[in-house]
Amino acid sequence: MTTGSFTSRPRYSPLTRFPSARAHLLVADHAGIAPHAFAETCSAADFPERWEVVAHARVLPQPLGGPGVHQFRSASHLLTLLGHRLNAETMGLRLYAVGSEPFVWDVARVGREAGMGREEMQLFAVGQPVRRVVCVHCRTINPEVTTTLVTCAGCGVTLSVRDHFSRMHNTWMGVQCDAEAPGELPEVEDLCA
């Protein structure tokens, strides 16, 4: 439940181990997870099975996992094999994801598609703010948006990003910002600023 949170904007808490779970799987879209991704009482060492992205093609992962650090060639590679892994899992696994916001919600989607509930996962977004923005008019997904305005790659309108995030689609809503008066655009702001 998100009572007390006034928007659909996701808010993240540092990871803690679920107290009573049969197994834990931590996935990240990078190697070397920063300590601030974990709550004070815990660290990467509390997650004996970790999947990381190393961004080169010379690793061979073991998708059915087991204790140890497993390396993947890309986030897409990791997500594909995560689906296979979760489909082979039984009850009692808890899933943790650390990385960019689009990545951690991709992990949540793979978990949901494998039958996991929201309460069986923890997500923590790290790094520079980056948003996946869907153009509500033409349905094009604009990845890696780092500003408050973006030109839609599909229909070319200038989108402002509404403060509205879909966990199911893993997108922010982009709406044409000068539909009422063409050319009347607000200042562009950098999300990192």
Partner 1 sequence: MATAFKPDETFRGDFRYSNSAAAVLRFPFPFVEDRYMYGINLEPHTRPGSSGAFAVAFDVDEHYVAECAERALSLAQDPGRCLVLPHMHEAEWDTLELIMESLAADYPEHFTLEREGLDWTWTNRPLGLHQTFRFGDAGTLPYPPFEYITRQAQGDFTLQDQRDGTLYIDGGITTTQADWSLAFDVGMTFHEWHGPVPLAHQAGVFDRALQYLMRVRYGHPARRLNWTLTVNPRLDTSPENYPIWGPDRASLTPENIADRLFLRVELQTFYRLPRSNALLFGIRAYLANLADLTRVPKWGRRLHRVMRDLHPEVVGYKGITRYHDVLVNHLAQFDDGAPTSPGIAPDVDALREM
Which residues of this chain interact with partner 1, rule CB under 8 A?
Answer: 1-3, 5-9, 117-119, 134, 136-137, 157, 162-169, 171, 173, 175-176, 179-181
Nearer to partner 1, 3 or 90 (CB): 3
As a whole number of Å, the end-to-end CA separation of the chain is: 30
Element (H, E) at 78: helix 75-87
Nearer to partner 1, 74 or 176 (CB): 176
In whole angstroms, the minimum distance from the beta carbon of 25 to partner 1 comes to 22
Nearer to partner 1, 66 or 183 (CB): 183
Nearer to partner 1, 32 or 183 (CB): 183
Question: What DSSP letter does each residue of 115-156 carry, written as one string?
Answer: T--GGGEEEEE-SS--EEEEETTT--EEEEE-BSEEE-TTT-
CA atoms of 85 and 77, how far apart (whole Å): 12
Nearer to partner 1, 100 or 170 (CB): 170
CA atoms of 110 and 115, how far apart (whole Å): 9
In whole angstroms, the minimum distance from the beta carbon of 176 to partner 1 comes to 5
In whole angstroms, the minimum distance from the beta carbon of 140 to partner 1 comes to 13
CA atoms of 142 and 98, how far apart (whole Å): 22
In whole angstroms, the minimum distance from the beta carbon of 28 to partner 1 comes to 25
In whole angstroms, the minimum distance from the beta carbon of 156 to partner 1 comes to 11
In whole angstroms, the minimum distance from the beta carbon of 162 to partner 1 comes to 6
DSSP assignment letter at 11: -
How, if at all, do strands 171-176 and 131-135 pair?
parallel
Sign of CA dihedral 13, 14, 15, 19: negative
